[in-house]
Structure 1
Amino acid sequence: MSSSTASTTDSLRSTSSDSSPAGSADAHRFGDPVVLVLTIGFILLFVGWSLMDADSLAAVIDVGFAWTAKYMGTFFQLLLLLTFFIAMGVAVSRAGAARLGGMEKPEFSTFRWLSMILCTLLAGGGVFFAAGEPVYHFVVTPPAFDTEAGTAQAVAPAMAQAFMHWGFLAWSVLGSLTAMVLAHAHYVQGKPLQPRTLLYPVFGERIMSSWLGGVVDAMCVIAVVAGTVGPIGFLATQMSFGLHELFGVADEFSTQLVILGLLAAVYVASAVSGIHRGIQLLSRFNVILALVIGAVIFAFGPTLFLVNTYMASMGEYLTSFFAMATMTSETAPEWWMKWWTVFFFAWFIGYTPLMSIFVARISRGRTIRQTILAVSILAPIATTIWFTLLGGSGVYYQLTGVFDLTEALNAFRFDQATLTVAKNLPGGVMMAAAVLLLTTIFVATTGDSMSYAIATVGAGHDEPHYAIRAFWGGAMAVMAAILLYMGAGQIGVLQQFIVLTAIPVSLIILPSLWTGPQAAFAMARAQKLI
C-alpha cells in the first residue's frame, strides 16, 4: 500500500467515530427520550387498543393496509428497482474499491460476516415462507404467468415468483445504498448510527439535533418492532403446532408462552453479549445447521428434480424479472398484490434503516463493492437455493401426490405447510424437528440483531448499554405474548401494520438513491482511489 493511501487510512481511522458526537453518547446511554417515549407509547397503544377493542383496531388497520397497497404499492416497487440498479452501478464503479470504516482489514472473517448478514432478513421470514410460498404459487398461478396450476409447467414460474419476493430487490434495499450513507456519515463524519443520519446529507445538522430527528428514529424503530414481533409470535405458534404434531405436546397458549420465554432468553442473551460474541456465534451456528440440512435434502431428496428446478426457475426469474417486478393492481388482482408483492416489499422497506445500521456496523474494513455484492447478489442467491431445497421439495411432493397442501395454503396456514413438507423430507420426524430448531434459531438471530440495532438507534453509538438491548428484546417478546394470548389473529393485524409503517420509512430512505452514490464516491476520493 502506498504511503499516501496509508496516511489516508490513518486519517480516516482517526476521524471515524464509534460513538456519537461529544456528550450525546453519555446523555443517551439508555436511549433517546423522544425515541423511547414514542416507541413505548406505540407498544402500549397497540396492546391497549387490542385488549379493549380488537375488532375496531383490526378494521382501522385493514383500511389503511388496503389504501397503502393500492396507492403506494407502485412507489414501493419503483424504490426497490431503482435501489438495486443504482447500487449495482456503484459496485462496479471505481468507488467500489473504497473501504468502509477506515480499516485496512475487515473486522470479521468472510464466513462470520456473511453469516450475520444472512441471519437477519432470512430469519425474519424467509425460513417461515420457504416451504409454503413456492407450493402456494404452484397451486395458485401468479398473475405474471398463465401456466396451468398444479402441472409440471407451473413449477418454474412458482419458484420464480418466490425468488422475486425474496431475491435481489428485497435484499438490495436492506443494506446497499443506505448502508453507504450511514458508513460515510458515521465513520468519516462522526455522526451517530441512527436512521436520522440517512437524512443528514439533505437537511444537515438540523435533523441531527432537533426533535424531528427523534421522530424519524422512532418511526423506523416502530417499523422494526412490528416487523420483528410478527415472526416471534408466528414462531411460537409454529413451534407449538409442530411439537403437538411430532411429539403430542399440547398446542395451547401455555406451550406458546414457554417457547416465547426460551426464545427470548436466547436472543436477549445473544444481544447483550454483543456482536463479537453471541450475535456472530449464533449466526454461524445457524448457517452451519442450514448447510447440514440443505446437504441432507440435496443428497437424499429428489436431487435431479431440485437441480433442474433451480436452473429453470432462475432462468424464469431473470427472463420474467421486470414482468413480476412491475405488476400493479391494474394488471393483477388487488388482493394478490396486497398480500404478496406489496406486503413483502413494504416489510423489507420497514426493516431498511435498522438493517442498514447493522450492515454498516459489521462491514468495517470491507470494500463498498464487497458489501453491495454480498447483500444484493450473494445473499439473494443463498436465499433462492434455500427456497429451492425446502420449497422445491414441497412442490415435488405436491406434484407427485405425496400430500395436498392446497386447502392449508389457501387458508394461509404456512406453519402446517412447513411441517408437512419437513416430515416428508429425508429423515422424517428427525428432519422435521431439525427444521423447527433451525426456524427457531433463525428467528432468534433476527431478535438479537434487531434488539442490538434498536438499542444502537437510541444510544447513537456502536456499544449501547446492555440493559437497553435486553429491554428491547424483552419488550418484543412480551408484546408477542400478549397478542398471542388474544389469539394469533392479532399477530396478523400487527403484520398488516407493517405495510403502513413503510410509508414514512420509504420517504426516509428515498434520498439514498442519490446520497448513497455521493457517499461512496466521497469515501473513494478521501482514500485517493479516484
Structure 2
Amino acid sequence: MSHTNATPSTPETQSARRLGDPLVLGLSVGFILGFLALSLYDIDMVAGGIASGFAWTASTLGSYFQLLLLLTFLVAMGLAFSPVASARIGNLDRPELSTFKWLSIIMCTLLAGGGVFFAAGEPIYHFVVTPPAFETEAGTPEAVAGALAQSFMHWGFLAWAVLGSLTAVVLAHAHYVKGQPLQPRTLLMPVLGERLVKGWLGGVVDALCVIAVVAGTVGPIGFLATQVSFGLHELFGVSEGYGTQLLILVALGAVYVTSAMTGIHRGIQVLSRFNVFLALAIAAVIFLFGPTQFLVNAFTRGFGEYLTSFFTMATMTAQTAPDWWMQWWTVFFFAWFIGYGPLMAIFVARISRGRTIRQMILAVAVMAPIATTVWFTLLGGSGIHYQLTGAIDLAAALNDFQFDVATLTVAQALPGGPLMALAILLLTTIFVATTGDSMSYAISVVGSGHDEPNVLVRAFWGIAMALMAAVLLYMGAGQISALQQFIVITAIPVSLVLLPSLWTGPQAAIAMAQEQGLLAAHRASSPES
C-alpha cells in the first residue's frame, strides 16, 4: 500500500539515483576538502575565523535558536494530544519494526553525543560552577538539583523535539503519500513550491544540511578516538599517541561502515540493540551497587527543578547570563541539535513506518528525553556524589573542558572500577558507531532522495567522516573543536529549513488524518454530532 516515487525511470535518473544529486555531492565533498586544505594551509586562520563566526552567531541568534526549540516542543505536544495524531505513518497498518528495536534505534542514534561525552562531566561541571539560572553555592549539597536540572535542559525535551517530531511528520506525509524525496529540501516545498525546491536551490539546501551533520558527526568520532586512547592508556598503559588514535578510528570506521552498508534492518538495528542491553546492564550496576539513595534523591529533586525552572532556563539570554556561558553551553548545544534536525527527521520518518504520529512524537520528544535524564543522573549524579565526598576532584579538569577525563575518572570510581571503565568505553564506542552508521545512511538518503541508497555511497560517507577525523586529529584536537564550533554557524541556514514545520507539521498531520478517514470518524463519534 506504500507510495513510491512516481518519476519515470530512465538510464539518466537511475544513474542519478545510484550516485546521488551531483550538486549535493559536489558541495558537501567540496566543503570537506576545502576545510581540510585551508586547515593544512593556515590552521590559525581557520580556527580564528570560525571562533569569530561562532561568537557572533551565538550572541546574535542564540535567542532565536532557543525560541525555535521551545516552540517546536510546544507545538509537537499540542499535536500529539490532538485527534489527528492517530494517523499512521507510511500507509502501513502495522509497524515495520518491533517497539523495542524501534526505541533502541532512536535512543542510540540521538543520544550518542550526550551519552558519550557529557553524561558524566556536564552535571559535575554545573555542580562546581553554578549555572546562571540558579543562586546556590557551588559544590554544596544544595547545588545538586540545579546542576542536574541544567543538564536535563540541554539534553531533554527541547533537544529531542527538534530532532524528529514536527519535521518527521512533514517528511513522512510528503514521502509516503505524495511520493516526494526523503530530503531536507522537501521540508520547504509547502512554503516555496515544488518547482523552486526541485532546482538548484534544493540542492544547496540539502548540501547545507549534509555539511551541518558532517561537522556534528566528525566531532564525536574524533573525540572518541582521544577518549578511548586516554582510557586504554590509563587502564592498560597503552601509548596515547596519534598511532593509537588512528587504530581506534580504523576499528570504529570498520564497525559503522559495515553497519551502514547492511542497513536499518540488520547492522544498525543489531548495534543499537546490543548497546541498549549494555547500557541497561551498566545502569543496573550503578543503581544497585553505587550511591543508590543519593541517586534516587538527586533525580527526584533534579527533575522537579527541571520542570519548575523549565521556562527560566529555556529563555535565559546573554542579557541575564554571562556571554561565554551561553555561548559554550545552551546556544552551542541547541545549535548542534538544529544542525542534526533535518537528517534525524529523515531517519525517524524512515524507521517509524506503521507507527501513529502520537507514538512517534511521544517516543522522540518525551520518552527518550526522560531516559536521557535517568542516564545523566546515573553517571553525572554518581560523579557529583564522589566529588561531594572527596573521592574524586574534577573541578580543575572540567574548568579546562576536559570531558574525556571526567568520564573515565567517574567510571573508575564506580563499583567494579577498571571493569566498569572498560564497559563504559565500549558503550561510548558503540554509541558513536550508531551515530556514524545512521548518519552515513541518512546522508546517502539525502543524496539519492529515496530510502534505499546505494551501498557504496553509504560506505563512502562513513569512510569520508572517519578520514576527516583522522586528518583533524593529526593537526591537533583543537581543529576538531573548531569543527564543533562550525556547527553553530551551519545552524543558521538549517534553522530556516526547520522553521516552517511549526505550521506545516500540524497541516501534514491533519492531511494524513483526513486521507485515512480519521477526522470523519472522530466527528461522527463526538457527542455534538
Compute the TM-score of the two structures, normalised by the length of structure 1.
0.97
Residue 32 (1) aligns with residue 21 (2): yes
Task: Give the structure 1 partner of residue 32 of structure 2.
Answer: 43
1:465-491 per-residue CA deviation (whole Å, 9 max, x = no partner) reads: 000000000000000000000011100
Shift of 1:98: 0.3
Rounded to whole Å, the distance in 2 between the matches of 1:154 and 1:226 is 34
Task: Give the structure 1 partner of residue 452 of structure 2.
Answer: 463
Task: Give the structure 1 partner of residue 63 of structure 2.
Answer: 74
Shift of 1:128: 1.2
Is the Cα contact below 8 Å between 2:252 and 2:429 reproduced in 1? Answer: yes
Task: Give the structure 1 partner of residue 434 of structure 2.
Answer: 445
SS of corresponding position for 2:415: coil
From 8, 30, 49, the counterpart of 1:60: 49
1:21-62 per-residue CA deviation (whole Å, 9 max, x = no partner) reads: 333455231111000100000001100111110000011101
Superposed, 1:214-293 pairs within 5 Å as 214-293=203-282
Rounded to whole Å, the distance in 2 between the matches of 1:58 and 1:94 is 50
Query: What amino acid sits opposite 1:481 in the alignment?
Result: A
Shift of 1:263: 0.1
Give the 4+ runs in structure 1 shifted more than 6 A: none
Identity level (%): 73
Task: Give the structure 1 partner of residue 350 of structure 2.
Answer: 361
Task: Give the structure 2 partner of residue 8 of structure 1.
Answer: none
Is the Cα contact below 8 Å between 1:21 and 1:191 reproduced in 2? Answer: no
From 468, 471, 477, the counterpart of 2:466: 477
Shift of 1:120: 1.1
Rounded to whole Å, the distance in 2 between the matches of 1:21 and 1:433 is 51
Task: Give the structure 2 partner of residue 335 of structure 1.
Answer: 324
SS of corresponding position for 1:28: helix
1:266-310 per-residue CA deviation (whole Å, 9 max, x = no partner) reads: 000000000000001100000110000000000000001000110
Task: Give the structure 1 partner of residue 8 of structure 2.
Answer: 22
Task: Give the structure 2 partner of residue 6 of structure 1.
Answer: none
Task: Give the structure 1 partner of residue 399 of structure 2.
Answer: 410
Compute the TM-score of the two structures, normalised by the length of structure 2.
0.97
Rounded to whole Å, the distance in 2 between the matches of 1:97 and 1:21 is 30
Residue 167 (1) aligns with residue 188 (2): no
Task: Give the structure 1 partner of residue 123 of structure 2.
Answer: 134
Rounded to whole Å, the distance in 2 between the matches of 1:51 and 1:512 is 39
Is the Cα contact below 8 Å between 2:114 and 2:155 reproduced in 1? Answer: no
Task: Give the structure 1 partner of residue 523 of structure 2.
Answer: none
From 459, 475, 497, the counterpart of 1:486: 475
Rounded to whole Å, the distance in 1 between the matches of 2:292 and 2:14 is 54
Rounded to whole Å, the distance in 1 between the matches of 2:354 and 2:14 is 24
Task: Give the structure 1 partner of residue 200 of structure 2.
Answer: 211
For structure 1, the 5+ residue unaligned runs are 1-12
1:296-344 per-residue CA deviation (whole Å, 9 max, x = no partner) reads: 0000000010001100000000000001000000000000000000000
Is the Cα contact below 8 Å between 2:160 and 2:364 reproduced in 1? Answer: yes
SS of corresponding position for 2:387: helix
Task: Give the structure 1 partner of residue 390 of structure 2.
Answer: 401
Shift of 1:20: 7.0
SS of corresponding position for 1:174: coil
What is the count of residue pairs matched by the alignment?
516
Q: Do the aligned partners of residues 26 and 105 (structure 1) sit closer, same or farther apart at CA in structure 2, a change above 3 Å counting?
A: farther
Task: Give the structure 2 partner of residue 303 of structure 1.
Answer: 292
Shift of 1:125: 3.2
Rounded to whole Å, the distance in 2 between the matches of 1:226 and 1:71 is 21
Shift of 1:209: 2.0
Rounded to whole Å, the distance in 1 between the matches of 2:451 and 2:440 is 13
Rounded to whole Å, the distance in 1 between the matches of 2:8 and 2:125 is 53
Is the Cα contact below 8 Å between 1:239 and 1:259 reproduced in 2? Answer: yes
Task: Give the structure 2 partner of residue 91 of structure 1.
Answer: 80
1:190-224 per-residue CA deviation (whole Å, 9 max, x = no partner) reads: 00100000011112212442011000000000000
Superposed, 1:176-195 pairs within 5 Å as 176-195=165-184
Query: What is the root-mean-square deviation in Å for CA atoms of aligned residues?
Result: 0.8
Is the Cα contact below 8 Å between 2:65 and 2:331 reproduced in 1? Answer: yes
Rounded to whole Å, the distance in 2 between the matches of 1:306 and 1:207 is 54
Query: What amino acid sits opposite 2:159 in the alignment?
Result: A
For structure 2, the 5+ residue unaligned runs are 520-529
1:123-177 per-residue CA deviation (whole Å, 9 max, x = no partner) reads: 1333210000000000000000000000000000000000000000000000000
Rounded to whole Å, the distance in 2 between the matches of 1:223 and 1:321 is 28
Rounded to whole Å, the distance in 1 between the matches of 2:365 and 2:7 is 31
Rounded to whole Å, the distance in 2 between the matches of 1:158 and 1:98 is 39
Is the Cα contact below 8 Å between 1:125 and 1:231 reproduced in 2? Answer: no
Rounded to whole Å, the distance in 2 between the matches of 1:25 and 1:131 is 48
Rounded to whole Å, the distance in 1 between the matches of 2:501 and 2:115 is 26
Rounded to whole Å, the distance in 1 between the matches of 2:219 and 2:116 is 14
SS of corresponding position for 2:19: coil
Query: What amino acid sits opposite 2:144 in the alignment?
Result: V
